[in-house]
């Protein structure tokens, strides 16, 4: 419930505070006095776009502050409000109320505040959206739109659960369709990639490179290219070490070291004996090196074609390093990655068929869910049509008829989500289902029922919207409903009926109405008037009327005769009749 609103420097209002209570509150005043600015302030609290042009002339910014009480709200609403407050870091006031505020700068951005914390305008909108519903003449125009008509029906039908199942199934179906279309589109491309990878792997497998083989080949080829010089070096070194060659002289390093060791060992000197042991180790090294040189010599190729074989192998390896990596180790790593990628490129008909079957299965689930949503809407359409027609009868439109048609939303030729239905129709599977919802209306018995936007006048549309709100209000008990001149174009007996319906709605809701109709104002529990000030500034204020002031204001609204005895008598009669009517229908 909205308990108070404070406005500074907004339009015609310099500074004003209005207090509200349960029941029906009306706002009246002369045209241009600033009644609309009160509603504009509420829209700002609802997160509406801030218009710097609405800042009062001479002021740098406008401020709107509202105090909300949630004790009368439904438990689920209170829970959501508490969650929003906690997530925003907002706090309740000492009395448990929540203060929401919005400032609009003439030169800069607007600011939103909730529970003493600066928040995004969206967060403010989410908070007030739980507690406040605004209805103006623009809402009557929105009521013409198919999406708003569907939303109103869904609100009555309570299709949240089946609609959620439909949306989940639809999202999965559309994703599977995209996967299938992508697979079909890329089948040739994937097949070509698979062929290229397979060819490369076959080429690598045939050559069968070994890790580090290209580096080893470089050393082998260099050695083979200098084979004679290498052989001569080995022979010379081996002869020098051990003399074990065909062309050696009698002296060798091994024999010389052996003679020296024998000479030293033949003495009794401990130092010389120690040196002899060191020569023994040196002799062992000479013998080992000589043996390895002999092994190396035996492994040197004797066939001149060995070099050609190594060069041919090197050429094979280079065909791989030119294509796949800088060296053979890189080629082998590329082959591992290529085999993994090839395993992912499943272009078989079996895989394509499996995807097609999954799309069909998900499509069947979407169809089933869409049918469930349609059934709920069709059933609700009958109940809502009957209830609104009954309300229209109470609004001095006894011969009017309100209808709701639910029909398939036929898919276009280029539809992005065509869905074949059991009925044979191909519908558009939209985010909100596969149904087209349309409100129909006939103002008089026997008239053809036409779409609402073609058949209702401004006054009739006002009453249709009010009747719809009265019926739908059952599920929003405890919230605040604001009506901004929704009674435009209405007068006489119809105006009395609108006042009566608003008073009835105020039994379960806080209702705030901006009106020019005295018949509506007479039904109010609280009557606020917006007075335009005098002088050049013409600052408006909001004041609460007592019983005598209400009579004067009603007389002014009746015929501009606020000070005449006849006008006041007429106003008193209207006020007493409204009170009596409310007591009888309580």
| pLDDT reported for residue 331 | 93
What is the rounded distance in angstroms from the CA atom of residue 514 to the CA atom of residue 486? 8
Which parts of 456-564 fold into alpha helices (H)? 458-472, 492-505, 518-521, 547-559
Report the pLDDT averaged over residues 568-585: 86
Between 1-5, 108-112, 317-321, 365-369, the lowest mean confidence (pLDDT) is in 108-112
Instruction: Compare 455 and 160 and report the one with higher pLDDT.
Output: 160
What average pLDDT score do residues 381-395 get?
90
| Residue 218: per-residue pLDDT | 87
CA distances from 511 to 21, 71, 323 (A): 9, 16, 79
Amino acid 476: pLDDT: 66
DSSP state of 326: S
- Residue 524: burial class (beta carbons within 10 Å; 0-12, 13-18, 19+): buried
**What pLDDT is attached to residue 562?**
59
Confidence band, pLDDT 50/70/90 cuts, at residue 330: very high
Three-class HEC string of 69-135: CCCCCCHHHHHHHHHHHHHHCCCCCCCCCEEEEEEEECCCCCEEEECCEEECHHHHHHHHHHHEEEE
- Render the burial of 117-136: b for 16+ CB within 10 Å, e for the rest: eebebebbbbbbebbbbbbb
What confidence score (pLDDT) does residue 398 get? 83
- Which is higher by pLDDT, 184 or 314? 314
Specify the pLDDT at position 250.
46
Higher confidence at residue 71 or residue 538? 71
Q: What is the pLDDT of residue 586?
A: 64
Nearest C-alpha neighbor of 27 from the set 560, 504, 16: 16
Instruction: Report which listed range, 31-45, 174-188, 295-309, is most confident.
Output: 174-188
Examine the pLDDT at 143 and tell me if it is beyond 50: yes
Mean pLDDT score, 338-351: 79
- Span 457-465, average pLDDT: 79
Q: Helix, strand or coil for residue 508?
A: coil
Mean pLDDT of 150-170: 92
Percentage of the chain lying above the pLDDT 90 cut: 31
Residues in the chain: 586
Closest by Cα among 178, 38, 48 to 102: 48
Q: What is the pLDDT of residues 80-113, one digit of tens each?
A: 888 888 888 888 988 889 999 999 998 878 899 9
196-203: long-range contacts at Cβ-Cβ below 8 A with a sequence spacing of 24 or more?
A: 197/338, 197/341, 197/342, 197/345, 198/342, 200/323, 200/324, 200/335, 200/338, 201/335, 201/338, 201/339, 201/342, 203/319, 203/320
- Strands of the sheet with 117-119, listed across from one edge: 13-19, 2-10, 61-68, 98-105, 111-114, 117-119
> Rounded mean pLDDT of 59-66?
91
pLDDT for res 535:
44
Confidence grade of residue 33 (pLDDT, cut at 50, 70, 90): low
Please answer whether residues 229 and 360 qualify as being in contact, where contact means their C-beta atoms are separated by less than 8 angstroms.
Answer: no
- Span of 80-84, 234-238, 359-363, 541-545 with lowest mean pLDDT: 234-238
pLDDT tens by residue, 201-242: 999 999 999 999 899 888 888 777 776 677 778 778 877 777
Residue 9 has pLDDT above 60, yes or no: yes
Q: Residue 499 is encoded by which pair of tokens? A: 């006042």
Q: Is the pLDDT of residue 374 over 50?
A: yes
Nearest alpha carbon to residue 2 among 32, 37, 46? 46
Between CA 150 and CA 170 the distance in angstroms is: 19
pLDDT tier for residue 536 given thresholds of 50, 70 and 90: very low
Distance CA 370, CA 503 (A): 39
484 in Cβ contact with 36 (< 8 Å): yes
Question: Where would I find the beta strands (DSSP E) of 150-243?
Answer: none
**138-152, 283-297, 388-402, 528-542: segment of lowest average pLDDT:** 528-542
Give tens-digit pLDDT for 494-510.
788 888 888 888 888 88
pLDDT at 534: 47
pLDDT at site 425 = 92
Burial class (CB in 10 A: 0-12, 13-18, 19+), 60: exposed
For residue 538, the model assigns a pLDDT of 56
Rounded distance between C-alpha atoms, residue 26 and residue 582, angstroms: 16
pLDDT tens sequence across 395-454: 878 889 999 999 999 999 889 889 999 989 999 999 999 999 999 999 888 888 999 888
Distance separating alpha carbons of residues 515 and 496, to the nearest angstrom: 13
pLDDT(269) > 90: no
Residue 479 makes CB contacts below 8 A (sequence gap 6+) with 1, 73, 77, 130, 131, 132, 133, 509, 510
Average pLDDT over the chain, rounded to whole?
Answer: 85
Question: Residue 62 CA to chain centroid, in angstroms?
Answer: 32
Q: Reply yes or no on whether the pLDDT at 136 is more than 50.
A: yes
pTM for this predicted structure: 0.63
Asked if residue 254 lies in contact with residue 242, where contact means CB atoms within 8 angstroms, the answer is yes
Span 135-158, average pLDDT: 81
Structure confidence at residue 256 (pLDDT): 81
Do residues 571 and 551 touch, judged by C-beta distance below 8 A?
yes
């Amino acid at each position: 419930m909205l308990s108070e609103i404070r406005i500074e420097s907004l339009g015609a209002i310099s500074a004003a505070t209005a207090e509200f209570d349960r029941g029906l509150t009306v706002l009246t005043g002369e045209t241009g006095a600033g009644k609309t600015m009160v509603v504009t302030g509420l829209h700002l609290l609802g997160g509406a776009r801030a218009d710097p042009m609405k800042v009062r002339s001479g002021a740098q910014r406008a401020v709107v502050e509202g105090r909300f009480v949630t004790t009368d709200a439904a438990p689920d609403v209170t829970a959501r409000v508490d969650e929003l407050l906690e997530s925003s870091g907002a706090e309740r006031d000492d009395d448990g109320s929540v203060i929401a505020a919005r400032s609009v700068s003439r030169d800069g951005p607007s600011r939103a505040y909730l529970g003493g914390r600066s928040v995004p305008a969206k967060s403010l909108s989410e908070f007030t959206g739980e507690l406040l519903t605004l209805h103006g003449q623009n809402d009557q125009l929105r009521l013409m739109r198919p999406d708003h008509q569907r939303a109103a029906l869904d609100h009555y039908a309570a299709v949240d659960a089946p609609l959620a199942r439909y949306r989940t199934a639809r999202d999965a179906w559309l994703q599977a369709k995209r996967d299938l279309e992508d697979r079909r589109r890329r089948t040739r491309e994937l097949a070509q990639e698979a062929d290229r990878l397979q060819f490369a792997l076959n080429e690598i497998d045939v050559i069968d490179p070994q890790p580090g083989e290209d580096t080893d080949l470089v050393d082998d080829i260099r050695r083979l290219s200098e084979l004679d010089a290498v052989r001569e070096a080995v022979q010379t070194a081996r002869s020098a070490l051990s003399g074990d060659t065909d062309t050696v002289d009698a002296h060798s390093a091994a024999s010389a070291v052996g003679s020296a060791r024998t000479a030293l060992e033949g003495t009794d000197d401990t130092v010389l004996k120690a040196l002899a042991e060191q020569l023994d180790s040196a002799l062992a090294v000479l013998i080992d090196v000589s043996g390895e040189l002999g092994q190396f010599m035996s492994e040197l190729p004797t066939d001149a074609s060995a070099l050609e074989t190594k060069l041919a192998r090197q050429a094979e390896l280079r065909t791989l390093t030119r294509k796949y990596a800088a060296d053979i180790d890189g080629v082998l790593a590329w082959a591992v990655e290529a085999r993994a990628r090839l395993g992912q490129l499943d272009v078989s008909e079996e895989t394509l068929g499996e995807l097609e079957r999954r799309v069909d299965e998900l499509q069947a689930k979407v169809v089933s869910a869409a049918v469930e949503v349609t059934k709920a809407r069709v059933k609700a359409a009958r109940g809502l049509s009957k209830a609104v027609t009954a309300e229209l009868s109470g609004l001095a439109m006894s011969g009017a008829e309100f209808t709701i048609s639910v029909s398939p939303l036929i898919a276009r030729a280029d539809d992005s989500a065509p869905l074949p239905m059991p009925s044979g129709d191909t519908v558009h599977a939209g985010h909100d289902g596969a149904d087209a919802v349309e409100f129909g209306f006939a103002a008089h018995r026997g008239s053809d029922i036409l779409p609402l936007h073609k058949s209702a006048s401004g006054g009739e549309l006002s009453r249709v919207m009010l009747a719809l709100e009265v019926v739908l209000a059952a599920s929003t008990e405890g919230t605040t409903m604001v009506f901004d001149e929704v009674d435009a174009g209405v007068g006489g007996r119809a105006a009395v009926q609108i006042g009566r319906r608003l008073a009835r709605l105020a039994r379960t809701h806080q209702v705030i109405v901006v009106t020019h109709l005295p018949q509506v104002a007479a039904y109010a529990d609280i009557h606020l008037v917006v007075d335009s000030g005098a002088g050049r500034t013409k600052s408006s204020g909001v004041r609460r009327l007592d019983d005598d002031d209400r009579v004067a204001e009603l007389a002014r609204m009746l015929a501009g005769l606020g000070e005449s005895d006849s006008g006041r008598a007429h106003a008193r009669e209207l006020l007493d009749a409204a009170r009596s009517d409310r007591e009888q229908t309580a």
